[in-house]
Amino acid sequence: MVLSNIKTQNDKKNSIYLKAILLKALANHHRLLIIQLLSEKSYPVGQLETILGISQSSLSQHLAILRKNKIVKTKRSAQTIFYKLANNDVMPMINRVFESFIQPEPSINIKERAISYNSRNIKPALF
């Protein structure tokens, strides 16, 4: 009985620890924008860089954090690397976090850039 209570407590601690790691990985507005874009479709790195308006170096650092935490995954198509969400299970958690705050919409400029790229005839990588 005591051992099962200890196991249950340890399981809860591990679950909370994993959630804290995930929240830490998401605790940046650029990474949240990346996830929001990738929740709709996959994007090549160059398009993410242009849509977000950040440097390649900065984008690489954000993507590395998301990859390390298994939030996004990559696929190479010729010389282009595409990113997509590793699994959509993270979206309900992100949506709950957003709903608990007054969330401003992403800037219109970013939305317009994403729409502009989406309207081109660029074929996404198949995962």
Structure-token pair, residue 126: 């198949």
CA proximity to 83, closest of 98, 62, 103, 102 = 62
Q: What is the pTM of this model?
A: 0.69
Q: Is domain 2-119 in CATH 1.10.10.10, yes or no?
A: yes
pLDDT digits (tens, 9 = 90+) for 19-73: 888 888 888 999 999 998 998 899 999 999 999 999 999 999 999 999 999 999 9
Q: What is the rounded distance in angstroms from the CA atom of residue 19 to the CA atom of residue 9?
A: 15
Q: Where are the domains of the chain?
A: 2-119
